[in-house]
Structure 1
Amino acid sequence: MTAAIASDTVEEDVFGGVDSHADTIHVAVISDNGGHLADAEFATTAPGYAAALAFLAAHGQVVATGVEGTASYGAGFTRAARAHGFQVVEVNRPDRAERRRTGKSDPIDAYAAARAALSGRATSAPKDDTVAGIRALHNAARSAVKARTAALNQIGNILITAPDAIRAKYGHLKGTARTEALARSRPAGDACHTGVLAALKSLARRVMDLTAEHDTLTRALNTEVTTVNPGLRAAYGVGPDTAAQLLITAGGNPERMRTEASFAALCGAAPVPASSGRTNRHRLSRGGDRAANAALYRIALTRMSGDARTRTYVIRQTAAGRTKKEIIRMLKRAIAREIFRCLTNMVTIPDIADLRPLRQAKNITLTAVAQHFGVWPTTISRLERGLSRDDDLTHAYRDWLQAA
């Protein structure tokens, strides 16, 4: 009789919840009717994760486990749980109203995560590790840009108050010319001049090193994103940094987003009603992942300046009385739809490897090609090297070369 009761207890459906931190995770277990069963704390190590999973399994058949911070502090536990066949769902932290009502502690948060998994409020699968390398390269490249910007600002600030001789020599220079001149300088003279020039030279060399570092990281990032999703990278206006951000936002398993509307909402590109009285309009969304929203914004600006279809669309919407903000919102929503297709489907891109050899074999210059199609030579060069994509121009260019 006792064995039968123990067997029934083991087979009871339970739900888990995890509140994650840097050094510890707090795990809670509830029954399928929401009753609290047990909770415990474990270390964020491989043995700790194994003990936490054994703790969950000891209380019954684990239907789902809600984890708070699956892409940050809970990433290690999430990997271990999925490797052992546990279903993990991503849980957002409780809102402020609920925290004010129920309090804040590790057990409270862990039980709240378990209830979110039980109720179905948390259903999103966590991101997998496919884009972990892209995320690391992207963060490193952006930190290099921030550090370079800080160094450039310091150079400008020092030159404002520098001695007249230094200001006269370097103040009128701009950009790379100023950085290279300062990096070649030889601090000499009195103590004031020597100290200022030494600081400027050090900052200039830092800028040059960070620029080289950023270029190296960007090349590696471009290789990674092109390998993971060549269709996304080849889309018009999508560079390495933008493609990386969109892949990071979607994760390596974008099938967890059921519709393109959910991806648009995730990127903060879903239209938000802003109607009142006789006014019927929508405004820009201020929610979602702001970094992904900024990526869509950069794509929209690039297409508004260089894509013929987009420029025609902008002219048409402007004539209809829409403002620039409204047009950009509509463009971002349309771009989100296109990006979602690139993320969830294998998008074929036209082969361009034959274009340059074919042109060179017929002794045709880039200038001649550009003049024929009415574009800049740089456009043709970038098309041949795969740095930009224009399917219509690619097909027309190949047909023209073959007929030449």
Structure 2
Amino acid sequence: MIDTYVRQLKSNDAGRRREAIIALGKSNDPAALPPLAEVYKNDPEPALRDLALKAGRYLRQHTQQEPPVAQEIAAAAPSSASSRLKEELASYEAEDASGSSSIPLQRRRVVPQEDIDRSKSYVDEALSHNMNGDNARALKALRKALELNPDIKDDGFFVSVAGAVTGDTGQAAINFILDQKQAKEFVKESKRQQKSVQTAMHLETAEKSRWSGVTLELAMFVLINVLGTLIMFFVFTESISSLSADSDMISGRQASELRSMVATFSLVTGLIVGLISAVGSAVNLFLQGVAIHFVATTLFGGKGTIRFMLDKLFGLYNKRLPLLYALIIASVWVTFGAGSPIFSALIGFVTSLIGLQILFKASSLTSQAYNFSTGSGCLTNILAFGFLGLISMVIGYLLTNVFLGSFLSSMGNLPLS
């Protein structure tokens, strides 16, 4: 009767060996004791060796025999009551009969020390996420900890963290973590709440921006552009004057023409040019900010204020413009004053890189201002530029038609000779 189960003890499948051990323990056949002793000595699975020990005790007590192998098994650990052993075997048998449990990770197994350490690190990670308000990631970390080491559910620290994350206590918190459906719903709800909190905090920050701050940044923008243009104007005129005085580089006629051109330059002229350039740049950047706000809130559902966007946008340019003007002025001086086009080209290349960096930084600022991804910020800026370009084309088309119509009308009113 027991031969089939004895052969099954040699199976490579730990589950089948487990079934055989339980069956031999309940067989009431003393001949099953030697095979159980062999399993206790040699089986690679510690859990199965422990099960064989308990099965041997149960069988020995029910057969009232004390063969050497049974004594060997009994010597490994103190014997316990028959009823207790029967309950233990019954619990193992019930576990096998239940098949797949509704809660995963319940099957006993030997956990390597490496997995034990990793599971503890996941619990620490879960606590960090919980303290940061990210319970979705905290729950995922706890599930990973249980997958690596199911026995960690008995650890007090794990239970405490699980309760903080789920809001339940004890076994209820563990069952909640292991229930895949509940866990998914919890993660979704946690992410929704986290996003809601982030949006509220973002709007609170955005609301702190005031038009007075925007006005100050705009004034700084205009001032930097005026001063930059004036200095560039001065360096340009001085470089041209030096070039016109160098008879080795240009002819007398060219020098005379350059001196005549420089004579028309003045501080007032430079100031007017700088002011017009600065105001034009400020208006252009302001409209760019308005277009970005429109695209971000209308097409991408961004949450933010136009004041916050303009404040950040003008602030970005105010930090970069002095360096850009310094490079442009150096390029002018190197080209016309020192006569070195190679260095001028190098400076121009660096200037272009800084210009690209400003564009990428503007995309990042857009994502921060409206609380969405950097990719959405980049796409928002591209669409905003396209939107402004389209408006410029329409305005240019309308103005062209108006002036052309007026011109043709005036030509039609001229008397024919």
- TM-score, structure 2 as length reference: 0.18
Q: Relative CO higher for 1 or 2, CA cutoff 8 Å, sep ≥ 6?
A: 1
- TM-score, structure 1 as length reference: 0.19
